[in-house]
Amino acid sequence: MEKIFSPRSVAFVGASNNLGKWGGIIFRNLLDGGYEGEIYPVNPKEETVQGLKAFRAVAEISGDIDLAIFTIPSAAVPAAIKECVRKKVPAGIVITAGFAELGGDGAREQEEMVRLARSGGMVLVGPNGQGISSPRAKLHPWMPVLKPEPGVIAVASQSGNVSTVVAEELADFGFGCSKAVSAGNCADLSWPDYLEYFRQDPETRVIVLYVEGVGDGPAFFKAAKAAALEKPVVIIKSGRTQAGAVAAASHTGVLAGSDQVFSAACRQAGLIRAETIEDAVIMAASFVKTPLPAGRKVGVITGGGGFGVIAADACLRLGLDVVKLSDETIGKLKAHLPPWWSPNNPVDMVAGIGYGGPRELIPILMDSGEVDGVILLGIGWIYSMLDSVTSKIDFRNPEDKTLLARLDHDLKYNEMLRDYFFQFKKPLLMTSTMARLAVRRGYPGLLKLVNDGIMLYPTIEDSIRAFGALAERGRFLQQEKNLQCSTHED
């Protein structure tokens, strides 16, 4: 599979000069990505394709080929695979649709394609996908123009659009990808193969899956659990309803089973199930650097009472415990808060300008032994005060002394939060309404956090769902550790 994500040479069967065709669009993206290996466009009707010499057939290419990409009509794919097998090409990506998802002849053509590939030891991605992205190799032969930055989150998706959106939303929060693959129909390489590869991949620390059907259930969950024991695995599973199951069958030719059974199996295997694409992105990003909590007890710090109420409700819905703080901890907090503070968790700073803030309160909660982590609501407020969605303000205007003073204070404040994030061995989750704009607009203070791989959560609910995912992974790993200890004792 290294030949798929780190090839030394690529043959593109169906490369086109027409940017209105998939063979033109995807070939253009391959060229624009900066890939430094050899590229061989194959098109019997063209002398050159987008500036490169074209070959009439794979057999005419004199050099070795690590990876073949196919965007030709489905009926022509088996013959092209056969030619690649004779050339000893070890890997291929079949982007072409029109196979098992159509049933009948399409299913038979897919089986023949796989049989031919396996006869020569060739592995296949797809068909019916949109390609792959391997950022460190500068390899982006896929449909979107997006070229993710190198990161540590791997994405495998049965939907090309979903893989694109996951990569785009990760970029919104400052995270890149190690690898991304549109798995399509999983005719040859399937979930166990991708899970095992990403489990071993040193560039990958977190795995995100979008699954319509798992195929061989026991093999899937065996590989998933093996991966989850080493790396967080976040899964989005569609086809949960009757309508969704019908759509999945027509999309990638898979059959969906009982959703309740699937959820139970995911929990047993240590998979973190996401309800939406956005949830999957936020959970995956939280796993990159955030330490796991020992349990589900949460301390909440907020600058506004309403935020605290919303947070408490959301924690209760997700089975998190907004614990009652001891008199000792209340006394320590009280020393830094205004006289009108109501001693509770969530800890509401009640707009106490001139009194203590997160600098003093976070260490008290973290060191109390009463919470497993802290959620801090509402950082980055300076940018919302000074900037609207449509305006463009120069945050470094040397003539605005007041603005510069606020920015310098915000930088120092966020440097402190960054230090706290790594200092305590418990999760510190921070929300900001500016989270999705921090990278795009280059907000200096928030970038102090983002550039160190710290996730900023755009909503209160996002941070609490992330805490729940972290706690669930902690539960799974502790459970497995206990089982191993019990087995050794027996």
Return the higher-pLDDT residue of 230 and 400: 230
CB 127 within 8 A of CB 95: yes
Q: Given this model, what pLDDT does residue 486 score? A: 74
Residue ranges of domains in the chain, CATH in brackets: 1-129 (3.40.50.720), 148-289 (3.40.50.261), 292-473 (3.40.50.261)
CB 352 within 8 A of CB 338: yes
Q: Given this model, what pLDDT does residue 248 score? A: 46
- Confidence bin at 242 (pLDDT 50/70/90): low
User: 426 pLDDT exceeds 60?
Assistant: yes
Q: Given this model, what pLDDT does residue 244 score? A: 44
User: 239 pLDDT exceeds 90?
Assistant: no
User: 410 pLDDT exceeds 60?
Assistant: yes
User: 250 pLDDT exceeds 90?
Assistant: no
**Residue corresponding to tokens 């440097």:** 415
- Confidence bin at 388 (pLDDT 50/70/90): low
The tens digit of pLDDT for each residue in 200-227 reads: 999 999 999 999 989 899 999 999 999 9
Q: Given this model, what pLDDT does residue 258 score? A: 76
C-alpha angle 382-173-442 in degrees, rounded to nearest 5: 45
- Confidence bin at 393 (pLDDT 50/70/90): low
Q: Given this model, what pLDDT does residue 413 score? A: 94
Return the higher-pLDDT residue of 257 and 98: 98
**Of 382, 363, 379, residue with least CA distance to 371:** 363
Average pLDDT over residues 72-79: 95
- Confidence bin at 253 (pLDDT 50/70/90): very low
User: 125 pLDDT exceeds 70?
Assistant: yes
C-alpha dihedral sign at 483, 485, 488, 489: negative
Q: Is the peptide bond before 293 cis (omega within 30 degrees of 0)?
A: no
Percent of the chain at pLDDT > 70 equals 92
| Cβ-proximal residues to 411 (8 Å cutoff; 6+ apart), any chain | 444, 445, 448
Name the DSSP letter for residue 59.
G
**Of 432, 438, 417, 424, residue with least CA distance to 462:** 432
Residue 337 has a CB neighbour count (10 Å cut-off) of: 21
Distance CA 331, CA 212 (A): 53
Average pLDDT over residues 125-151: 97
The tens digit of pLDDT for each residue in 101-117 reads: 999 999 999 999 999 99
Q: Given this model, what pLDDT does residue 435 score? A: 95
Q: Given this model, what pLDDT does residue 143 score? A: 95
Tell the burial category of 101 from Cβ atoms under 10 Å away from its Cβ (0-12, 13-18, 19+): buried
